[in-house]
Amino acid sequence: MNNRPHPLVAGNWKMNGLRSSLGELGAMAQAYDSALRAKVDLLICPPATLVHAASIAAAGSGIGVGAQDCHAHVSGAHTGDLSAEMFADAGASAIIVGHSERRADHGESDAAVRAKALAAVRAGLVAIVCVGETEAQRRGGQTLGVVGNQLDGSIPTELTSAQLVVAYEPVWAIGTGLTPTAADVAEVHAFIRERLAFLLGADGAGVRILYGGSVKPSNAAELMAVPNVDGALVGGASLKAVDFMGIAAAYR
C-alpha cells in the first residue's frame, strides 16, 4: 500500500451556494492545517457563479477549486455554456464531468463525457470522471458491466494519472443516506483499478479513485479505508465546513 495515490477529498456543491456560502470555504481553509495538508488534498466545486470568488477565498490555503461541468469546445456560439478554458481563467484546477445528475438530467452520453474530460485536460485542468450504476442495475447484477462500459466510453486513454480522477458514485447512494457495504465498494474499486490499468497501462495504478454517495463524517473512516479508495466525492456534507472537515479527518 506504500504507493497508494495521494488521497483527495472533493466537495460537489451542486446547485447550492450564494456568495454568503463562501464563509464555509473560509472555515475549511482555517481548519486545513499543515498536518492535514500533508495527508490529503482538498477540492471544492461550487456552482459556476462562485468559482472565481471561491478561488480567491481559497487562495493560499491549499484547497483547490473546481467546476461541475464544462462544454467540450473552447469558445463559440453556445449560449449559456462555459468552457474549460473559462474555468481555468476563473481559477479552477479541476472539473467534474459525467456526474450522474448530468447524465440523467441532460442526457450526456459516454462520448460527450469523454469529450468534456479531454476539454478539461486541454485547458490544463484535472478531469474528474464520474461513473456508477442505478439501483435497478445493481439489483440486476449489472454493476460491473455498467461501470466497465462507462469507463471504456468516458475515459480518454491518452490521459495520465496526474490529469485524471475517477469517481465511483452509485446513483442509488447519492443523497439517500444509503451506502454500499465496504465489500461492495472494494469489489467495484478493484474492478475500476484493473480497468484503468487496461486503459492507461502502468499509469492506471496512480489514478485516484474516489467513492461518492452519502459520505459523511460518521462513515468516512470506514469507506476511506477500503482498498483502492483514494478519497471521496462529497455532495451534501461538503456544504458545511464542520462536516467536510470531519470527512477529511478520516486521513488524520
Instruction: List, by residue number, the catalytic residues.
Output: 99, 169
Contact range with ligand 13P by CB under 6 A, out of 59-67, 73-81, 133-141, 229-237: 229-237
Stretch of 15-23, 54-62, 143-151, 235-243 contacting ligand 13P, by CB under 6 A: 235-243
- Any contact of residue 236 with ligand 13P (CB under 6 A)? yes
Q: How far is the CB of 29 from ligand 13P (least distance, A)?
A: 21
Q: Footprint of ligand 13P on residues 49-78 (CB under 6 A)?
A: none
Does 235 sit near ligand 13P (CB under 6 A)? Answer: yes
Q: How far is CA 116 from CA 97, 152, 233, in A?
A: 6, 15, 19
Pick the closer one to ligand 13P by CB: 86 or 233. Answer: 233
Nearest to 223 by CA among 238, 211, 235: 211
Contact track, ligand 13P, 78-107, x by CB under 6 A: ---------------------x--------
State yes or no: residue 175 binds ligand 13P (CB under 6 A).
Answer: yes
213 binds ligand 13P (CB under 6 A): yes
Q: Which residues contact 243 (CB under 8 A, 6 or more apart)?
A: 216, 217, 237
Tell me how far CA of residue 184 lies from CA of 68, 71, 144, 187, 195, in angstroms.
27, 33, 11, 5, 17
Residue count, binding to ligand 13P (CB under 6 A) = 14
Burial of 186 (0-12, 13-18, 19+ CB in 10 A): middle
- Tell me the β-bridge partners of 96: 128
- The CB-side HSE value for 205 (13 A sphere, CA atoms) comes to 6
Residues 6+ apart with CB under 8 A from 169: 99, 100, 130, 131, 132, 211, 212, 213, 233
Q: Is 234 in the site for ligand 13P (CB under 6 A)?
A: yes
The SS3 assignment for 124 reads coil
Instruction: Output the residue with the shortest Cβ distance to ligand 13P.
Output: 235
Residue 237 C-beta: closest distance to ligand 13P, Å:
6
Q: Does 150 bind ligand 13P (CB under 6 A)?
A: no
Q: What whole-number distance in Å separates Cα of residue 115 and Cα of residue 97?
A: 9
Report the distance separating Cα 78 and Cα 83, nearest Å: 10
Binding mask 6-35 toward ligand 13P (x if CB under 6 A, else -) reads: ------x-----------------------
- Please report, as ranges, the residues that interact with ligand 13P according to CB under 6 A: 12, 99, 169, 174-175, 212-215, 233-237
